[in-house]
A and B are shown apart, each in its own frame.
Chain A
Amino acid sequence: MAQSFEFGGQTFEITGQAALYWRAQDALLVSDLHLEKASAFALYGQMLPPYDSVSTLEEIATLCRTYRPAKIISLGDNFHDDDGEHRLAEGAAALLVDLACNTEWIWVTGNHDRAVSGMWGGKAFDALTLSGITLRHEAQAGDPNPEISGHFHPKFRQVLRGRMVKRRCFVKTPRKLIMPAFGALTGGLDVQDVAISKACDLKYGEGVEALVATQSGFARFALASPP
């Protein structure tokens, strides 16, 4: 059972179900928090439990207590919609302010929240590059640089001993690393889906792996290369 892996010449640890710790940068990476997703549905009459933002942020806070990172980087779709930032309820907002005060919080903007303002703290970027690795929301085909992104909510599904195991997972190729969604109410897309294999932008003969977090590390599964 592996604890860490190499990507773009850097070492990463998988922590929690869907976060990365980048020791050289002392950064915690998460993606697709989709904060205030429940209230976005409530607007349309589906009264989902209003605890998703608190739950998601508490989980980040828990990871922070372990790693005490200098930076937290959230790779887009931070809020479920543009208005989500303004709907953030008191308890969740306090948590976010606290996190953003004690670290350097970086919002990468996504397709759901182009207008993230950082009203609770943190700075917003469309994309940024650290130690030669590009961080953006959605993988960009043709970019030869190592790149970490989110957007697709990859999920590993396999029947093991007659039992269907479904977990969020990371997708790793030589140049792309796609993160799973971190948000408490975020669903997933099968890692074998053609949208993900397209985003992997593979060259002939290159392999793809799914990395699935477990309690004591993560498991690796080689995925069939797309045709």
Chain B
Amino acid sequence: MRNWRHRGWNAGKLSGIKLGVNLPPIILNWFAARGWQPRRHQLEMLDAASAGRHALLVAATGAGKTLAGFLPSLSDLIADPSDGLHTLYISPLKALATDVRRNLLIPIEQMGLPIRVEARTGDTPSDRKARQRVKPPHILLTTPESLSLLLSHEDSVHMFATLKRVIVDEVHAFANGKRGDLLSLSLARLQTLAPNLQRVALSATVADPDDYRAWLAPNGDIDQVRLVEGEAAAEPDLTILLPEGRVPWAGHSGQHAVPQLIEVIGRNKITLIFCNTRFLAEFTFQKLWDANEPKYAIGIHHGSLSVEARRKVEGAMAEGKLRALVCTASLDLGVDWGNVDCVIQMGAPKGSSRLLQRIGRSNHRMDEPSKAILVPGNRFEYLEAQAAFDAVAEGVRDGETFRPGSLDVLAQHVMGLACAGPFEEAALLAEVQSALPYSALDAATFARVIEFIATGGYALRAYDKFKKLVKRPDGKWHLAHPQFAAQHRFNAGIIVDAPMLEIRFRNGRKLGKVEESFAATLSPGNCFTFAGMALEVESIKDLDLIVRAATKPAANIPSYMGARLPLTTHLAERVRQMLTDRPGWARFPDEVREWLEMQAYRSQMPKPGQLLVETFPHDKRHYMVTYPFEGWNAHQSLGMLITRRMESRGLMPMGFVASDYALGVWSLKPITDPGALFSADILADEFVDWVESSYLLKRAFREVAVISGLVERQHPGERKTGRQVTFSTDLIYDVLRKYEPDHLLLEAAWADARTRLTDVGRLGDLLDRAADTMLHVDLERISPLAVPLLVMIGRESVAQGSVDDALLMEAESLASVAMAP
């Protein structure tokens, strides 16, 4: 009962709109018995359903979105309770599907309705899965991956023939990624199996709902999707925490604010503390624990903890046993705890939409403000926090970028459908094109995807005799052997983790995972902190890191490659505006204002639209620092490219450092003409060369090779034996790049490298801007604005020739010096 009480079933009055909706008496009575009334947007969803329209509901957390999604289904099923699958509910999170099941079952039970609701995820036992296919429930709760697998079964044709509605929850969280691609393809399939299917999506508030309407609509036709908006939530109560007005020069941790955080925890019932990385979550947890004199119960939650550990913490939260929980994006979605009354964001928020989502985790009563505190870790983060503060006050969200669907995901989908039965190429192409991400897919590319599945798609045509798909005389593509279906189902999925080792105690209890690259730095006897515990390595076996509790605290904390959250273009634009708005500085704390004033005095502040570039000598080197505010990815890429160009122009670059806000480069020779370095042709000349020779394309290739089914996924905990030996996709990449550089998978890897890994779009915008607006200031010494960047850790040194070679030689010579008699 603890959850749904808060989820906005009760508040709200019928706002006078007369909708042509007849709720069955049994539902009306149920509302009335609780002294509640349906909300306007709930009724509008019913109206859309009875008008036979698809619908997108956009509403704040706590507005009763889930119920709004389900009411039309309940209403239908009361009128006609006949057997067969009626509604499919799809959530991006396994745990969420379980949670909604609980929240949906309670009212169904209370109304005494004969409606069967079941969940189906990767954790569902296989006998139940088999039964679900034969005798499906009325409402099935599942994930995009599990749905995709369901569609790979022959009997899916019958199972989905009765389907009336599909509800996609939290659509804002994944529509524009690869899981969104997969789901949009599955929706297209479902529409073929059940032509009158109504599509419904539930979303948090977004900048442009039309993007999501188009994504949801068959053939991207947004007019088919009715937009329903929930009422606005109360304005959040947001503050920026500045202990004694202090904002450090550098760092991201907000460590200076720990004593104040302990006080905040003491003042509130339950506090959620969001951190941007798993590393920062462990670090913050440790610092809080060290300062935790009042001995508050504080927990930690992040995506690399074992499922058991996460469930335990989630359980403790639900039972109200914790006063605070340090967490990461792992809690951006998912289980709502109605009793959270304060949210803290450590470091910079990175985007206004994400921040609003996080704020929405506190206080689910629509009519009361959510309380949230921002803790910037350095001066630029203060500016970013202020920008986010303003954006939240104005209710402005970040825009989302939608990109064409990935070809690796398409390959997985098509293989799945082939497992379900033979298909006709042209008909399937038309179906695939009705999914918005693939609307521009042409017949030739689609044919390449099929050829890729059938034979690997190699120019050499070496595998024509081992075909996985064959075109039979009936003109359809058939699966060559049923064994390939089992193989597909075993390997399908969209999430590809970096190689990980499982952390466990000798008794087998699992704690979670660390990346292989971190594990490689450890040997028996070394200590590190994980899940808030100090651990000592006992041994490393295959894919296991066996640990025991350490006797003393450990400073070493694992870090994870994971995707960095980039600063959104919207917040970046706001920060740039703030820098140029001198009168506005008056509201900043003294330290920040003086820092900016000193910058204006010593160097310059860029005017709106200008890109500031400073050059100055420092510590016997020549520095160039620029402030594009385009996010770490774009700056890191720019650093790589510019140092390459400097190298070829004899400027002898030595290294660079990038943050979300700025890029600094240092060299032995001075840069006199930065304009020549920032020209847009760098994206043609140096970019391709760099991406191909860097780890970026290999990393992207690894993902597309797994998703597309080229290589088998390594399942966690599985031992390497015999034929199952997994081998490095790097080797495959090398061979493929050498002999068939135009292969479909290299194309797919390139698409990922351009969009997600390098942010080349933003980089291009930056360089376009630079051409006309560059403000170059040559200084005698370092500028105030440059300080936070240059004291950062995470500097990159420029690799001369082959990096690994250089490192090996260096290591050998160091070892021989150290070991010399």
Q: Which A residues fall within an 8 A CB radius of B?
A: 1, 39, 42-52, 54-55, 89, 157-161, 163-165, 167, 184-187, 212, 214-216, 219-222
Contact = CB atoms under 8 A, between A and B. Distances in A.
Nearest to A212: B808
Contact of A159 (B457, B521, B712, B819): B521
A109 to B, nearest CB: 19
Contact of A43 (B466, B802, B803): B466
Contact of A165 (B466, B710, B732, B804): B804
Interface in B775-812: 801-805, 807-812
A45 B455 contact: no
Interface in B681-723: 710-712, 723
A215 B805 contact: yes
Interface in B65-108: none
14 contacts: A44-B723, A49-B739, A54-B739, A55-B739, A160-B808, A160-B811, A164-B516, A164-B517, A165-B807, A167-B804, A167-B808, A184-B735, A214-B802, A221-B812
A185 B807 contact: no
Contacts of B361: none
B809 A55 contact: no
B728 A187 contact: yes
A51 B487 contact: no
A167 B731 CA distance: 12
Interface string B512-529: 000011001100000000
A214 B811 CA distance: 13
A53 B579 CA distance: 59
Nearest to B802: A215
B455 A51 contact: no
A157 B810 CA distance: 15
A7 B37 CA distance: 88
Given A163-B803, A164-B517, A186-B727, A45 B815 contact: no
Given A165-B804, A221-B815, A222-B819, A51 B739 contact: yes
A55 B735 contact: yes
Given A51-B736, A51-B740, A187-B728, 13 more contacts: A39-B463, A45-B468, A45-B484, A47-B455, A51-B735, A158-B811, A159-B517, A185-B735, A186-B731, A187-B727, A215-B802, A221-B811, A222-B815
Nearest to A51: B739
A220 B801 CA distance: 21
A219 B484 CA distance: 45
A220 B812 contact: yes
A216 B487 CA distance: 44
Nearest to A1: B809
Nearest to B461: A50
Contacts of A157: 520
Nearest to B456: A47
Contacts of B734: 184
Contacts of B487: 45
A117 to B, nearest CB: 22
Contact of A185 (B727, B812, B819): B727
A1 to B, nearest CB: 6
B795 to A, nearest CB: 11
Contact of A219 (B728, B731, B801, B812): B812
Interface of B: 452, 455-458, 460, 462-463, 466, 468, 481, 483-484, 487, 516-517, 520-521, 710-712, 723, 725-728, 731-732, 734-736, 738-740, 743, 801-805, 807-812, 815, 819
B81 to A, nearest CB: 44
A126 B738 CA distance: 34
Contacts of A167: 804, 808
Contacts of B710: 46-48
Contacts of A221: 811-812, 815
Contacts of B803: 163
A165 B808 contact: yes
Contacts of A39: 462-463, 466
B163 to A, nearest CB: 31
Contacts of A186: 727, 731
A47 B468 contact: yes
A141 B458 CA distance: 44
State the 4 A-B residue pairs at the shortest beta-carbon distance, nearest first.
A47-B456, A50-B462, A187-B727, A51-B739
Listed residue (A39, A214, A220) with the most chain B CB atoms within 10 angstroms of its CB: A214
B758 to A, nearest CB: 19
A51 B811 contact: no
B448 to A, nearest CB: 13
A160 B728 CA distance: 20
A219 B809 contact: yes
A49 B744 CA distance: 12
Contacts of A212: 808
Contacts of A48: 456, 710-711, 732
Contacts of A165: 804, 807-808
Contacts of B739: 49, 51, 54-55
B280 to A, nearest CB: 18
A137 B326 CA distance: 54
A187 to B, nearest CB: 4
Given A42-B456, A160-B808, A214-B805, A47 B735 contact: no
A185 B732 contact: yes
A215 B809 CA distance: 10
A45 B732 CA distance: 16
A100 B69 CA distance: 71
Nearest to B733: A49
Contacts of B731: 184-187
Contacts of B801: 215
Contacts of A158: 520, 811
A212 B734 CA distance: 20
Listed residue (B456, B466, B735, B801) with the most chain A CB atoms within 10 angstroms of its CB: B735
A219 B811 contact: yes
A156 B753 CA distance: 28
B710 to A, nearest CB: 7
B728 to A, nearest CB: 6
A55 B801 CA distance: 24
A47 B802 CA distance: 31
Contacts of B516: 164
A106 to B, nearest CB: 26
Contacts of A163: 803-804, 807
B740 A49 contact: yes
Contact of A50 (B456, B804, B809): B456
B485 to A, nearest CB: 10
Contacts of B725: 187
A162 to B, nearest CB: 9
Contacts of B711: 46, 48
Nearest to B453: A47
Given A47-B468, A164-B517, A219 B736 contact: no
A212 B801 CA distance: 18
B295 to A, nearest CB: 37
B738 A42 contact: no
Contacts of A50: 456, 458, 460, 462-463
A165 B809 CA distance: 12
A184 to B, nearest CB: 5
A45 B743 CA distance: 18
Listed residue (B452, B802, B808) with the most chain A CB atoms within 10 angstroms of its CB: B808
Contacts of B712: 46
A44 B734 CA distance: 22
Contacts of B458: 47, 49-51
A161 B739 CA distance: 33
Contacts of A43: 466
